Amino acid sequence: MSEPITFLPSMSDLIEVADDSTVSRTVLRADGARVVLFSFDAGQELTEHTAAMPVLLSVLDGRLEIAAAGQRVELVPGGVVHLAARVPHEVHALEPSRMALTMLDARIEAHA
């Protein structure tokens, strides 16, 4: 069982953009959710893949292009993309960017 409250005062401070790289780091594990931060240098990408559970994508800073289900959207701070489980998608960094990926699944446990 996870703690009743987990507070991350600034996710942006927990990951840095590295030259010519994509970096990821899990920053929160709680019952039903996991948050993974990604940083992308300009031009970096995650090629087409799927997630076994529904996910939320939000940009902390920068601009990303998200392609899924025949659509392309530009994701900027303040926006969010929800993807259903197993929807093929890809992520392209239009500029140096940091993103939070929230995995939603009742089967996720804090200690996993």
CATH number at 48 reads 2.60.120.10
In the chain, DSSP finds a helix count (H) and a strand count (E) of 0, 9
Report yes or no on 54 lying in a domain. yes
Does residue 75 contact residue 65 with C-beta atoms inside 8 Å?
A: yes
* 107: confidence class by pLDDT, cuts 50, 70, 90: confident
Better-predicted residue by pLDDT, 52 or 2 = 52
CB 75 within 8 A of CB 67: no
Q: What is the pLDDT of residue 49?
A: 97
In a domain, 20, yes or no: no
SS3 assignment, position 49: strand
Summarize pLDDT for 16-60 with one digit per residue, the tens: 999 999 999 999 998 889 999 999 999 999 999 999 999 999 999
Residue 89 domain flag = yes
- 64 pLDDT exceeds 80? yes
Give the residue numbers spanning the domain of 63.
38-95
Q: Which element (helix H / strand E) includes 33?
A: strand 33-40
